[in-house]
Structure 1
């Protein structure tokens, strides 16, 4: 690979010209490292530089511990302070190209995940003339614990800062800032839904794609206050930036484990604790309510959906099925139904192709759809999660659907309306179902 230089608003970056003719620029800072006095602050623009910044290797990722014992997606953890960075994959680092842009927000329950995953490589999107941007952001306590002396929803502020960087800089990488689609899976899908409900994020994207989006209820401001109190009672440490700022990453993660994984006899709390919450400023109302009962994302074309067996691996099996319905299918259907009644452009899907890999047999499990959407069936970890020889024809169809949505705002199947309730079923032979809920009841 040979190098190429692009000039951003803060300084030049040197990326790689890949053997397939595309370019990638890795680890570009969109904000200063969140350390010292900035550790729990709102993101601050980078300090400008003059010499070309090496952008040929992934930058640091937010330090975390695995969300579960088995992680489906390969998620490299890269040490370092500058975790507020992003990666740009582009077919043409040419300001005249004006190509559509997909901004990807990784999942991981808001406490894990990595933008450096090989499953998020942008080569296939570049092949189809789409610029891909993947972003890192603060996780867990640093991103989402309510602190009385720090800005709320710091992780959400990171997403917005990254989108502002895209608005201001993506032209130099061949992208069109007026044609940005935000997308994410699991917590990343929840991030997409959250950004639809955040007033200050409006105008930074024109379309949204929520993959297995998880926004936990309830989400009110009183819940945030209770979480701060619970944090202190369980850890013995005040829920303040002053008390936490100088702790090492390991010490902070130990506190996070104490908070999120209490021992025997401790009061049970929701599955996901450290998530976006109502703060009365950045996030003015609960996201689910804003999408179902309010005007959030009214004019934004939205694709959303889920897999057939999101959390069926949870034990016992009936708990897993209940989690799939509670966290993903029921909220997704409600959002689609509400938007349909309001006449808002919405497309719904369910991914049903089932894995053959040991431990995943017969399940369309959480994350299974991502290698198909990114068209990376040969990437590390895919055969372990999906099995041998997953159908390339399905990857071709699903990936092309995403490309069409990013490019043309049309994912290639009928929109979800109160008349048809059209739902794309992604399987070995994709089809369109009408009234998915009725199908599920009858199956």
Structure 2
């Protein structure tokens, strides 16, 4: 092992080099968001003298592990400390003008970190990519709507990480004109929000959105989590008041509020909201005219991550009726989904409807509306673990070509097809390098790449069910 040194704009960092791959971890792209910098936009890093060691991941945004059954499937890596706003870079040792991929992790905007082992960038660097991952503020610290604080602070962090990448990546052998951002779930929502901003679009070559919501919430909805936390604490929902509360106490109160959530009575989640400075337009609308290639897709059975078989068994046709009333679903949706999934239980139909409402229908609607190159995929390989099937987040281990990673094994088991991982990983790289992942761009109800034990390009699956949702 050797310890190479790169000179960034704020100082030198030393990483590690193993088998031709260099890794630089925990490089600050903004000042630690502590004290008066809590509930404030990211501020520049103070330059440092000498060489800063970059061999360990930076601290994670304040959070708690996933609770209950989901905690057995999704790993939680929590690293204490204040220097939250950091990036990590993997590069081929001889990189020069390479394509760049910048990853934003998921976690419902309140959990997750770039330090999760599945997100190791080595497979991308091995295949010629300069890979970057970034932490950003989460939960109350990143997405509270408060009268005396900026909105979408976590998005502002992500934008700062993108700008840092654009300014510094040539020093790591990357081409700043070839930056593709990608992310899954909440990370996909972050990607959509960054691409929605006209001021950031010149920094981007393309974007990949994996199972990411595309809509910003109303201000009223986005304000609920912070308001509920403040009420539970007996204080006011202002930055001035919440700065007096330790970050981990805010996390603990949030956990108390969400502990009793149900399908029909869920505690409001954290969301981005429209804001002139950090998100001027709803991403679903702004991305229609974004002249950058986009790859977007979902997993067939997203809902099965959150609802284990025993929970699905408790849902009935009456539960659907209540859901249809709450979501104002058109008539005929139940019939259309019953036709699309003839062997499904009522709970499974409810899950599929929720999957499509949340991520699949918006993704297809966006693909239909865009004139720029848009490529649609569906991940359908069924995991044998806990009858997850093609659940939310299952594709990540395949995209990262990391099926041997402990986190990937937890969801996919030990017999997941390596050839599928190799294909998906190669398609993601091909998109970053060329803007074309290797299948036809989407037009109307045209071809979608379906990743399964046998990968093939198919006409949009379950088009009739999707159409029923929008009648």
Normalised by the size of structure 2, how large is the TM-score? 0.85
Q: List per-residue Cα deviations over 1:78-122 (Å, max 9, x = no partner).
A: 11000100100100365xx01100000000000001110111111
Tell whether 2:361 aligns with 1:330. Answer: yes
Q: Please state whether the residue corresponding to 2:302 is helix, strand or coil.
A: coil
Cα displacement (A) at 1:235: 4.0
Within the candidate set 277, 283, 299, 1:281 is matched to 277
Paired residue for 2:148? 149
Tell whether 2:392 aligns with 1:366. Answer: yes
Tell whether 2:135 aligns with 1:136. Answer: yes
Normalised by the size of structure 1, how large is the TM-score? 0.90
Paired residue for 2:17? 17
Tell whether 2:430 aligns with 1:434. Answer: no
Equivalence map 1:66-215=2 (5 Å): 66-69=65-68, 70-71=70-71, 72-92=73-93, 97-215=96-214
Cα displacement (A) at 1:159: 0.3
Cα displacement (A) at 1:241: 1.3
Cα displacement (A) at 1:160: 0.5
Contact 2:109/2:186 (<8 A) preserved: yes
Q: List per-residue Cα deviations over 1:378-419 (Å, max 9, x = no partner).
A: 11122221112211110111010001000011101111013x
Cα distance 1:111–1:14, how it changes in 2: closer, same or farther (>3 A)? same
Q: List per-residue Cα deviations over 1:347-390 (Å, max 9, x = no partner).
A: 00100011122x135x1011111111110111112222111221
Q: Please state whether the residue corresponding to 1:371 is helix, strand or coil.
A: helix
Paired residue for 1:312? 304
Paired residue for 1:349? 377
Within the candidate set 400, 415, 424, 2:449 is matched to 424
Paired residue for 2:2? 2
Q: Please state whether the residue corresponding to 2:4 is helix, strand or coil.
A: strand
Cα displacement (A) at 1:225: 5.0
| Structure 2 spans left out of the alignment, 5+ residues | 313-346
Comparing 5-14 with 147-156, which one deviates more in the overlay?
147-156
Q: Which has the higher helix share?
A: 2
Contact 2:420/2:453 (<8 A) preserved: yes
The separation in 2 between residues aligned to 1:285 and 1:227, in whole angstroms, is 22
**May I ask how many residue pairs the two structures share in their alignment?**
425
| Structure 1 spans left out of the alignment, 5+ residues | none
Cα distance 1:147–1:261, how it changes in 2: closer, same or farther (>3 A)? farther
The structure 1 segments of at least 4 consecutive aligned residues displaced by more than 6 Å after TM superposition are: 439-442
The separation in 1 between residues aligned to 2:207 and 2:3, in whole angstroms, is 32
Contact 1:235/1:258 (<8 A) preserved: no
Cα displacement (A) at 1:441: 7.8
Cα displacement (A) at 1:428: 1.0
RMSD: 2.2
Paired residue for 1:252? 250
